[in-house]
């Protein structure tokens, strides 16, 4: 099987973009080199066909490849945590604008793969970053990602159900979180790649998708310094009301690339 044959076959089954991403991963060649050397023999054809079939059956490309880009950095990806998504980059960009390279204490709550915590520490090196998750498996992956970026000793990882492992003296300048926010009844309607492969613990937000926010928002207020800011990725604008009810000021909602409300932020005065 030549690279051209492999690309044509994969394109029919899973689409051109996905086929060429798998070929690039297997051959360690860029898409340009694959097209330039399309008559070369693909020595790993069996592995390629296996990967195409796995993706055809619903397994996310990011889990098959085992890595994905977020904020211009490469992260390890597997089913211990959610796949990093472009919408979350908007959240991180807004936080980085607020940090403005200052020496601030930042908490990444529900860290998952650690992509948010690592990206912030990498792009704002003066920050003091703590990353928290209830899942020990997610924290294992987050630590691997920190280690891959030589930041394993620069980020504090804590296993905790939100703030349950913290004492009242712990305070932060920034709290950022992308918690589970899919209503339980909608989990079964998600795409196969999400529903059957990504961890439900990181997806299921309870009956209305707000269970974690109802705890996270008022607790965050308690653990923020004065003038500290809470940044949240959301699935519903009702989260903004929770911030207002908890005492946050200057509450704002930001839209994502599709003009869907995706970020809520508020300040503790």
The verdict on 100 and 47 lying in the same domain is no
The verdict on 22 and 127 lying in the same domain is no
Query: Does 69 map to a domain?
Result: no
Query: Does 148 map to a domain?
Result: yes
**CB within 8 Å of 268: residues ≥ 6 apart:** 221, 224, 225, 226, 227, 228, 229, 230, 247, 248, 249
Query: Does 74 map to a domain?
Result: no
The verdict on 35 and 134 lying in the same domain is no
Q: What is the pTM of this model?
A: 0.94
53: domain range?
3-57
Calculate the alpha carbon distances from 62 to 9, 66, 81 in Å. 20, 6, 11
Query: Does 260 map to a domain?
Result: yes
* Closest CA relative to residue 163, chosen from 195, 134, 190, 199: 134
Count of alpha carbons within 13 angstroms of residue 190, beta-carbon side: 20
What are residue 75's DSSP bridge partners? 68
CATH number of the structural domain spanning residue 175: 3.40.50.150
Query: Does 70 map to a domain?
Result: no
- Helix then strand then coil, in percent of the chain rounded to 5, is 45, 20, 35
Query: Does 230 map to a domain?
Result: yes
The verdict on 88 and 167 lying in the same domain is yes
Kindly give the confidence (pLDDT) of every residue in the chain, 269 residues in length, as a single tens digit, with 9 standing for 90 and above: 999 999 999 999 999 999 999 999 999 999 999 999 999 999 999 999 999 999 999 999 999 999 999 999 999 999 999 999 999 999 999 999 999 999 999 999 999 999 999 999 999 999 999 999 999 999 999 999 999 999 999 999 999 999 999 998 899 999 999 999 999 999 999 999 999 999 999 999 999 999 999 999 999 999 999 999 999 999 999 999 999 999 999 999 999 999 999 999 999 99
pLDDT of residue 250: 98
How many structural domains is the chain composed of?
Answer: 2
pLDDT of residue 160: 98
């Amino acid at each position: 099987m030549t690279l051209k044959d492999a690309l044509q076959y994969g394109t029919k089954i899973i689409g051109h973009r996905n086929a060429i991403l798998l070929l690039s991963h297997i051959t360690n060649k860029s898409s340009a080199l694959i097209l330039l050397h399309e008559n070369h023999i693909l020595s790993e054809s069996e592995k390629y066909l296996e990967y195409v079939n796995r993706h055809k059956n619903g397994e996310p490309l990011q889990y098959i490849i085992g890595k994905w880009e977020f904020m211009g950095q490469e992260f390890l990806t597997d089913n211990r945590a959610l796949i990093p998504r472009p919408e979350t980059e908007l959240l991180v960009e807004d936080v980085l604008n607020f940090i403005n390279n200052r020496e601030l204490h930042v908490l990444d709550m529900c860290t998952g793969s650690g992509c948010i915590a690592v990206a912030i520490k990498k792009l704002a090196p003066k920050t003091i970053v703590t990353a928290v998750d209830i899942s020990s498996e997610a924290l294992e992956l987050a630590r691997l990602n920190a280690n891959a970026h030589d930041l394993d000793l620069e980020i504090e990882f804590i296993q905790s159900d939100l703030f349950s492992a913290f004492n009242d003296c712990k305070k932060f300048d920034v709290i950022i979180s992308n918690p589970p926010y899919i209503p339980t009844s909608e989990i079964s309607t998600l795409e196969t790649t999400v529903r059957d492969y990504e961890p439900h613990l990181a997806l299921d937000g309870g009956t209305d998708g707000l269970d974690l926010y109802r705890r996270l928002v008022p607790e965050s207020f308690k653990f923020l310094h004065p003038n500290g800011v809470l940044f949240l990725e959301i699935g519903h604008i009702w989260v903004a009301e929770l911030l207002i009810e908890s005492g946050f000021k200057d509450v704002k909602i930001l839209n994502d690339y599709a003009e869907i409300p995706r970020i809520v932020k508020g300040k503790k005065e």
